[in-house]
Amino acid sequence: MPFIIGIPAAASAFLSAGLTTQISVAIVICLVIVLITASLPSEWDEAPRSLPGPSFLSIVPFFRQRHDFLNWGFHITGQSTFQFQLMNNTVIVLSGASARRAFFNAKGFDLTEGFKILSGAIPMVRGVTSGVQTKRVSTIHKRLAAVQRNARLSELIPAILEDSRRIFDNYGASGTFDPFQQINELIFQTTVRSLSSCEIADDASTVARLKTLYDRLDTGTTPATVLVPWFPTPAMIKKLWATKEIYGIVSRAIDAREKSGISRNDTLQMLIDSGDEKLVVVGFIMGLLIAGARATGTTASWIITYLGGYAEWRHKAQTEVEALLSAHSDATTSSISSRLAEIPLEIWESQTPVLDSIIRETLRVAQPHTAMRRNLGPEVYINEKLIPSGAYVVYPFSDVHLDPEIYPDPWHFDPSRKEIDSTVDLPLPYVGWGVGKTTCLGTRLAKVELKLTLSLFLLGFDYILVDKSGAPIAPPTPNWNDILQCRPPLGSCFIKYTRTPLAL
């Protein structure tokens, strides 16, 4: 009661005071209100903190210096979740174990929509590789699974090894090469063999042309081509012509096969025999060819590079492959590739712990992925922040793979690292092949490609990693700002090799 009586008295005293006193008291009251309001939860607290500065300043760094840009975002906001704008698109960036688990298991987070807007480095053909009906996407996924069934994958082993042998034979008795060029070309060839047709894979000039065209798509991907794809920039025009030519190569191969009436034992024949419409067949080959070759090629390039600088792991891998040959192949067979082809698929998949650990560690330290999704709804909360429907959500793999709390000395290549038990120690401590509801659908094929090509190279060549002057060097640090290959500066490292006495 005294409090209520005191209010009129205080108001009367305030009104009778001078102007200076009134202003001072008003300022104090406003400050108190602001402080109290700021301390209370509000609807705005649910939104992730935005990056400072004009939104257009985020566009180029996101596409050109993504790793550094995202790290800067976490640092400047001091938050585990922040947001920024790409044109009219809201992008929310996540970090931390709980966010990682929520991100990879969110039912409404769509990979295709996220990748289409935030990446743009695949050939876009309406109804073929973009704007594809859900039913067609499902069919493509089923066909990729069929390629990786035991019988088909076993049949691919000799073909992959023969392609590798032919390419390695062209290296000659000794020399040097850039692993990020030659090894990528090798993996592109084996991926074409695995996912397209014999006619394309057998024609070296066509494979080389496809590689050039897909490289043009990569180098032609700019912020403008991704965010305003309708604007006719020179880069967009080049991408359109490259896409048109890729489409033509694949489409002509399909037409020629159907007109010939000749059945071949390859993926194209499997797609035709399945009765799939032409748009599905073309989309399968165009989209998966580059998706598989790019990621697998990057991994293979870095494996060769790391083993060139870490002799102990190179020797361990050689010893493991030699043991496989002794146990599962005919020693009287004349060539290494033929003997490797005799090793059953189940042995490659279950009895190569050294190769498995090398692949796993390479994916951890030298795959600069940023997982991209779009929240198709409903809205969700992650890290106590609202992720609205329609927002794009990204999770950088570096948040876990380069975290020194999880992987001490994270930039150091060490295949002997103990695998972390995700059920006991930490949620999703490794995301190299994807996790949760979205995993790499081509994992099985990729692992087989990597093991076969690496095994043939290790047995066929003695090699070390050198600089441009030919002096031995340690492996370089992967450049995570290179979002496609993670490659070091051009011309900074090479493979110096000599052929072993063994016949490839």
What residues are designated binding site for heme?
A: 440
CA-CA distance, 445 to 450, in Å (whole number)?
A: 9
| Cα–Cα–Cα angle for 100, 106, 108, rounded to 5 degrees | 140
Chain center to CA of 471: 32
Residue 166 three-state SS = helix
How many Å apart are CA 279 and CA 267, to the nearest integer?
15
Cβ atoms of residues 216 and 242 within 8 Å: yes
Q: Supply 93's token pair.
A: 């960036």
Residue for token digits 């390859």?
Answer: 266
Contacts for 253 with CB less than 8 Å, ≥ 6 apart: 196, 197, 199, 200, 268
Pairing of strands 380-382, 49-50: unpaired
Question: Residue 454 carries which side chain, given as an amino acid letter?
Answer: L
Q: Return the SS3 of 494.
A: strand
Please say whether the beta carbons of 239 and 218 come within 8 A. no
* Annotated binding-site positions: 440
Residue 86 β-bridge partners: 89
Burial of 293 (0-12, 13-18, 19+ CB in 10 A): buried
Distances (CA, A) of 137 to 287, 372, 483: 11, 18, 25
CB 196, CB 285: distance < 8 Å: yes
DSSP code, position 472: B
Asked if the bond preceding 48 is cis, omega within 30° of 0, the reply is: no
Helix (H, G, I), strand (E, B) or coil at 486: coil
CA distances from 167 to 183, 186, 189, 504 (A): 10, 7, 9, 10
* Cβ partners under 8 Å of residue 427, min gap 6: 97, 98, 100, 101
Q: State how far the Cα of 247 lies from the Cα of 301, in Å rounded to an integer.
A: 27
DSSP letters for 44-73: GGGSPEEPSS-GGGGHHHHHHSHHHHHHHH
- Per residue, the 3-state secondary structure of 364-376, as one string, reads HHHCCCEEEEEEC
Closest CA to 48 of 69, 5, 22, 79: 79
- Radius of gyration (Cα) for the chain, nearest Å? 28
